[in-house]
C-alpha cells in the first residue's frame, strides 16, 4: 500500500476523529456550566447528586465509562444496541468532559469576590444579569488556560473510541499497520494528532490574547 493510499484510507478516520472532538466540545462545554451551577445549588439533594456524578466520572477510566454506556442498555434492560455505538460513544465523551469542565467552571466562579455580587445588586442587576454580564466574562478569562489543557487532552482521548470498535484514525492506523506490516500508519496518525493539537493550542492562545484586556 502506497503512502497516498494510506492517507486516503485514513482520511475517513481523521474526519471521524474530528467529529468526535467537535460533538464532545459542543455538548460538554455548556453541560459543564449547567453542572457547575447545580453543584452550587441551594438544595442539598441536588448538590449531593452532582457530587456523586462528578466523583464517579473522575474516579473511573473513560474507557470503562464508554463500555458501560454501550453495553449497559443490553445487560441492564435487555435492549438491542444495534446502531447504538456512535451515540453511546458521544454520550460517554460528553458526560466525562462535562464533569471536568464543571469543576473548572466552579473554580472560576468561586474566584470572583462576593463584593462584585453585592455591587451588582446595589446597581439593580438581577441574579441572571449579574452572572451573564459581570461574572461570566471574568470566569471565562480566568479559566481559559485550564480549558485549553482539557481541550488538548480531548484531542488525544478521541483515540479511546477504539474501545467500542469505532474506526477513527487510531483504529484505522492499527488495522492498516497490522495488515501491511508497516509502521507508517502510526506515523501518519501521530502527525495528525500533533497538527490537530497545534491548531487547537493556536486558536485557544489567540482567544486568550483577545481576552487579555488588562494589557
Per-residue confidence band for 213, with pLDDT thresholds at 50, 70 and 90: low
What is the rounded CA–CA span in Å between residue 160 and residue 65?
A: 11
Reported confidence tier of residue 117, pLDDT bands at 50, 70, 90: confident
Q: What is the pLDDT of residue 58?
A: 94
Q: What is the pTM of this model?
A: 0.90
CA 193 to chain centre: 16
Q: State the maximum Cα–Cα separation within the chain, in Å, rounded to a whole number.
A: 71
What is the arithmetic mean of pLDDT over 170-177?
A: 89
Which tops the pLDDT comparison, 108 or 127?
Answer: 108
Round to whole Å and give the CA distance between 144 and 211: 9
Residues 6+ apart with CB under 8 A from 49: none
For residue 196, give every residue at least 6 positions away whose Cβ sits within 8 Å of its Cβ, in sequence order, or none: 17, 18, 21, 155
Give SS3 for 27. helix
Domain extents for the chain? 7-210
Q: What is the CATH number of domain 7-210?
A: 1.10.3720.10
The percent of residues in the chain predicted with pLDDT above 90, rounded, is 56
pLDDT of residue 170 exceeding 60: yes
Alpha-carbon distances, residue 184 vs 3, 20, 80, 161, 171 (angstroms): 8, 24, 38, 21, 14
pLDDT above 90 (res 149): yes
Q: Is the pLDDT of residue 2 over 80?
A: no
pLDDT tens-digit map of 53-87 = 999 999 999 999 999 999 999 999 998 988 899 99
Amino acid at each position: 500500500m502506497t503512502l497516498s493510499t494510506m492517507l486516503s484510507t485514513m482520511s475517513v478516520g481523521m474526519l471521524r476523529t474530528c467529529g468526535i472532538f467537535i460533538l464532545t466540545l459542543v455538548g460538554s462545554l455548556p453541560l459543564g456550566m449547567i453542572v457547575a451551577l447545580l453543584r452550587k445549588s441551594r438544595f442539598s439533594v441536588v448538590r449531593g447528586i452532582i457530587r456523586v456524578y462528578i466523583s464517579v466520572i473522575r474516579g473511573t477510566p473513560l474507557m470503562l465509562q464508554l463500555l458501560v454506556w454501550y453495553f449497559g442498555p443490553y445487560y441492564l434492560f435487555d435492549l438491542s444496541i444495534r446502531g447504538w455505538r456512535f451515540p453511546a460513544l458521544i454520550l460517554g465523551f460528553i458526560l466525562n468532559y462535562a464533569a471536568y469542565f464543571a469543576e473548572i467552571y466552579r473554580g472560576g466562579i468561586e474566584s470572583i469576590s462576593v463584593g462584585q455580587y453585592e455591587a451588582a445588586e446595589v446597581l439593580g442587576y438581577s441574579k441572571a444579569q449579574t452572572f451573564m454580564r459581570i461574572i461570566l466574562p471574568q470566569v471565562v478569562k480566568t479559566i481559559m488556560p485550564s480549558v485549553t489543557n482539557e481541550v488538548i487532552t480531548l484531542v488525544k482521548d478521541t483515540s479511546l473510541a477504539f474501545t467500542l470498535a469505532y474506526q477513527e484514525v487510531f483504529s484505522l492506523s492499527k488495522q492498516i499497520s497490522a495488515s501491511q506490516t508497516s509502521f507508517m500508519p502510526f506515523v501518519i496518525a501521530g502527525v495528525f494528532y500533533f497538527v490537530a493539537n497545534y491548531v487547537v493550542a493556536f486558536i485557544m492562545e489567540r482567544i486568550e490574547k483577545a481576552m487579555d484586556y488588562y494589557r
